[in-house]
């Protein structure tokens, strides 16, 4: 009878050990599964940032090419507009008026 009790005790301990092993493997699988999900999220974020960076780089290159090939009209405008002639005309008018006033006196 004692021997049969030991058999059941040994089987019970084996069953407990197996249950512990199963629980540990389940926990390990859950942990690995969570790790995979986190890696997927990180990779999705990295892909999103890579796409945004690529679009920004293409836009910057397009803008640089546009600025390089677009003529600068402001330089042409500044060359056509001569400030010196305007100032001379203005002072000539004042001098003419002063001369007229002196002649009238």
Return the higher-pLDDT residue of 82 and 64: 64
What is the model's pLDDT at position 2? 46
What is the model's pLDDT at position 50? 97
CA pseudo-torsion sign 85, 87, 93, 95? negative
Question: pLDDT tens digits, residue range 47-81?
Answer: 999 999 999 999 999 999 999 998 777 666 665 55
1 secondary structure, DSSP code: -
- Stated pTM of the model: 0.42
- Helix residue spans in 1-105 (DSSP H): 2-69, 73-80, 83-104
Q: Cα separations (Å) of 105 from 34, 71, 95, 101, 102?
A: 104, 57, 15, 6, 5
Q: Report the length, in residues, of the chain.
A: 105
């Amino acid at each position: 009878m004692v021997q049969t009790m030991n058999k059941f005790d040994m089987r019970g301990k084996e069953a407990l050990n197996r249950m512990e092993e199963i629980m540990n493997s389940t926990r390990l699988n859950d942990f690995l599964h969570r790790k995979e999900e986190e890696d997927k999220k990180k990779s999705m974020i990295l892909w999103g940032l890579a796409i945004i960076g690529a679009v920004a780089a293409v836009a910057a290159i397009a803008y640089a090419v546009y600025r390089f090939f677009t003529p600068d009209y402001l330089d042409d405008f500044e060359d056509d507009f001569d400030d010196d002639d305007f100032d001379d005309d203005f002072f000539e008018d004042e001098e003419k008026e002063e001369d007229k006033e002196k002649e009238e006196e």
